[in-house]
Amino acid sequence: MTQTQLPATAGESLAGPPGPRAHLTSPVTQAVLRVQNQITAAAREYLSGDGFVEMLPPIIGPVTDPGARGAKQVDIDFYGHRYKLMTSAILYKQASLLAFNRIFYIAPNVRLEPLETSSTARHLAEFHQIDVEVAHASRDDILLVAQGLVSHIIRRVTGTMAAELAFLGRDPRAFDALLAGPFGRMTHHEAAESLHGLGHDQDPHAEIDWYAERLLSAQHERPFFVTDYPKGSRGFYDRENPDRPGTLMNFDLIAPEGYGELCSGSEREFEYRRIMARIRETGENPAKYGWYLDLVREGIKSSSGFGIGLERLTRYIAGLDATWQANAYPKLPGVVSP
């Protein structure tokens, strides 16, 4: 493990997004968007080659993912009914497996993140996910898909975007360790111990906050999985380990060099009884989830899946100071933007 320099936060070294003309005509933005275009092309290439069907996700619905930590949902008036913009398409991913066993979306998400996240260099109020779901897959199966996908994307970008990466000051040797072998893997419990060793008082029963995640990330030179998060901080759809109640069969993929979380995923709950119990535990009214629970009651497939933040992945690959640089029309929490 090497000690690398932490990337600056937007608050430290970088002003917020400029206006749309300055942003879109900037050679930096143009290089970043070309890299991002290769990322989505590589994702489609890899997943289509592996039997996945790309579907287009809905952007509104009567209910959306309740699992987004601390973010508010956006209401819209749908002919007199209160609908939501998607904070994530997770419920539709599970439903989509009724059509195909392997699906993905490149999905827009809207989350009114807390105002204080506008200076984390990691949070946008509108972003995209490469959203993948596989029927009858275990967590180990889906970890391999995530690792294969990210490795393929990086192989293609470093192979085709040498000039752009050089212009952006990103040394492609940053990915040598990543391409040389499997990603690392540790449990949430081991991550907490590692953080203790770094002098950070991580509660082993709580979510790892942004600061701690950045600390951990800076200790690594290739991406690594953190598995088995404690229940409570994640949505009801992350499957609880039947042998270890209170622990979820989920994971995050953390980028090295201080860039932090790229992706969250999990084995899913799919049984009606379990999903009802999990929704009730969160204090929510199951009636809200009517269409979804009707499907679940009649039977949905077991599955595992994940969502990779596209702007976060672009930031890591292009070596950017801030995630907003990887979006053509960046919306920072609380900042009036086009």
117 binds Mg ion (CB under 5 A): no
Of 86, 311, 330, 332, which one interacts with ligand AMP (CB under 6 A)? Answer: 311
| Stretch of 34-42, 151-159, 270-278, 306-314 lying at the interface with ligand AMP (CB under 6 A) | 306-314
Residue 239 interacting entry, from Mg ion, ligand AMP, none, C-beta within 5 to 8 Å by type? none
Rounded least distance, CB 171 to ligand AMP, Å: 23
Answer for which of 87, 250, 264, 303 binds Mg ion (CB under 5 A) is: 264
Give residue number: closest CB to ligand AMP.
309
Crossing angle between the packed helical segments 139-160 and 310-318, to the nearest 10 degrees: 50
227 binds Mg ion (CB under 5 A): no
Gyration radius of the chain's alpha carbons: 19
Q: Least distance from C-beta 162 to ligand AMP, angstroms?
A: 25
Q: Nearest distance from residue 39's CB to ligand AMP, in Å? A: 13
Residue range at the interface with Mg ion (CB under 5 A); choices 48-56, 193-201, 263-271, 273-281: 263-271
Question: Which of the choices ligand AMP, Mg ion, none does residue 268 contact, using the CB cut-off of 5 to 8 A by kind?
Answer: none
The position carrying tokens 């320099």 is 5
Residue 148: alpha-carbon gap to chain centroid = 16
Tokens for 316, please give them. 């890591």
Q: CA–CA separation, 51 vs 100, rounded Å? A: 10
- Decide whether 134 or 208 has the Cβ nearer to Mg ion: 208
Residue with Cβ nearer ligand AMP (88 or 217): 88
Stretch in the footprint of Mg ion (CB under 5 A) among 35-43, 112-120, 127-135, 258-266: 258-266
Site mask for ligand AMP (CB under 6 A), range 112-151, x = bound: -x---------xx--x-x----------------------
Least distance (Å) between residue 81 CB and ligand AMP? 25
Q: Which C-beta is closer to Mg ion: that of 207 or that of 271?
A: 207
Q: Which is nearer to Mg ion, 18 or 70 (CB)?
A: 70
Give me the residue whose beta carbon is nearest to Mg ion: 264
Q: Which is nearer to ligand AMP, 218 or 262 (CB)?
A: 262
Residues engaged in binding ligand AMP (CB under 6 A): 68, 88, 111, 113, 123-124, 127, 129, 261-264, 307, 309, 311-312, 323
